[in-house]
Amino acid sequence: MKVYVWKQSGNSYKLRVLLALLGVDYEEVMVDFRAHAHKHADYLKINPRGQVPAIVDGDTVLWDSAACLVYIARKFGGEQWLPSTPAPMAEVMNWTALAGNEMQFGLQYARRGLMRGIYSAGTLEQMQANGRVALDVLEQRLAQNEWLALGHPTLADIACFPYAETAPQGGIGLDAYPGIAAWLKRCKALPNWPERWKV
Amino acid sequence: MKVYVWKQSGNSYKLRVLLALLGVDYEEVMVDFRAHAHKHADYLKINPRGQVPAIVDGDTVLWDSAACLVYIARKFGGEQWLPSTPAPMAEVMNWTALAGNEMQFGLQYARRGLMRGIYSAGTLEQMQANGRVALDVLEQRLAQNEWLALGHPTLADIACFPYAETAPQGGIGLDAYPGIAAWLKRCKALPNWPERWKV
């Protein structure tokens, strides 16, 4: 299984986390954003969106981070990370979807704006406002629960972790979110939780 | 099962479609956006994001459209609409996730901008650019395949349908996307495909 990532990408980090927690062997392929490798024709054949991460595993080609997480969880993780029964599966997807909506277009793009000067989804203030929608929902949940979706860690926690942790890089401090801060620590204490790539 | 919707919401329409195709009985609850019912305290207890759709079914409360679709598909749809094996499930999630990323923040928000004057995720041009990322990926797939994820209709098609169909309301004509145009007709020809609500 080839896993295409870039070291500054929080969406890539989600896959790194799940693969490490599950102890899965895989081939990591760095897609160098500085060289615009994510927009090269060869890579666009794998991921027509021109983003990371992506997975190629035999005939299976996946180019959305949530789909990649679903694949890894269902192939290697049994029922823990993404249960197959309707209500628990949908509970997990609630948060996994949030990670691709307000967390991506709010928290991640606010961070990208401040770090790289790219503002493609609104002004910094608009992206921060979208990001706070996500953080407020997370905080409300985590004020009374240890994990987002179920009574144990699931895909939901992994999907939401990277851009919650980096919210301050988008100009949103986490002081007002004690539930989130405690949950971030809880996640990082899971056995085999990996560091981000060194930049 | 109570299903909270608003008649102008494409995300609500996704649930209406899947429930109709599967012939599921449910209680439809209109959340009147004109009266700001989606921001009332009672509704925010169900959906802390203040959006539609949402589902309440016994103890199960879901507030993201992708999660609602997953729940309905897995509870009532057997293996057809969302298979439980890793690769087919992830293929479906690729497109279901796209429907919540570029389709939502591009196509849907461009449409909302032109219809309601709300520009919360960038300028019209930025939202249209994000929307075209999604349409280009859809077109590339549909130029050679009848359905998005697998060899038959799945959740992927239902999730992507509403905001692809309304792209022109966001100022993006579909003339350049013949594969999408043919697929939209193919979707609407499925047995029991329901119309949108009358506005």
Bridge partner residues of A54 (DSSP): A4
Asked if B136's CB is within 8 angstroms of A121's CB, the reply is no
CA of A79: which chain B residue's CA is closest? B84
Domains of chain B: total: 2
pLDDT band of residue B199 (cuts 50, 70, 90) is confident
| Residue B15 included in any domain | yes
Rg of the Cα atoms in chain B: 16
Cα B41 from Cα B129, distance rounded (Å): 35
Residues A147 and A95 in one domain: yes
What does residue A47 show for φ and ψ, rounded to 5 degrees? -125, 95
pLDDT at residue B121, rounded to an integer: 85
Report residue A129 as tokens.
């406002």
CATH number at residue A58: 3.40.30.10
Q: Shortest CB distance from A105 goes to which of B48, B63, B105?
A: B105
Residues B115 and B21 in one domain: no
Min Cα distance A108 → chain B (Å) is 13
This complex has an ipTM of 0.96
Q: Shortest CB distance from A71 goes to which of B74, B87, B133?
A: B87
Asked if B68's CB is within 8 angstroms of A85's CB, the reply is no
Q: Is residue A37 within 8 angstroms of chain B, CB to CB? A: no
Q: List CB contacts (< 8 A) between B121 and chain A.
A: 105, 121-122, 126, 130
- What rounded mean pLDDT belongs to chain A? 96
pLDDT at residue B73, rounded to an integer: 98
pLDDT at residue B120, rounded to an integer: 84
Among B76, B106, B125, the domain boundary falls at B76
Whole-structure pTM over 0.95, yes or no?
A: yes
- DSSP character string of A51-93: -S-EEEETTEEE-SHHHHHHHHHHHHSTTTSS-SSHHHHHHHH
User: In the 3-class helix/strand/coil scheme, how is A113-143 assigned residue by residue?
Assistant: HHHHCCCCCCCHHHHHHHHHHHHHHHHHHHC
Whether A111 and A135 have beta carbons less than 8 Å apart is answered as no
pLDDT band of residue A199 (cuts 50, 70, 90) is confident
Bridge partner residues of B49 (DSSP): none
Whether B188 and B21 have beta carbons less than 8 Å apart is answered as no
What range defines the domain where residue B93 resides? 86-188
Asked if A66's CB is within 8 angstroms of B102's CB, the reply is no
Nearest to B61 by CA among A118, A117, A91: A91
Asked if A98's CB is within 8 angstroms of B120's CB, the reply is no
pLDDT digits (tens, 9 = 90+) for B90-125: 999 999 999 999 999 999 999 999 999 999 888 999
Residues A98 and A179 in one domain: yes
| Residue A110 included in any domain | yes
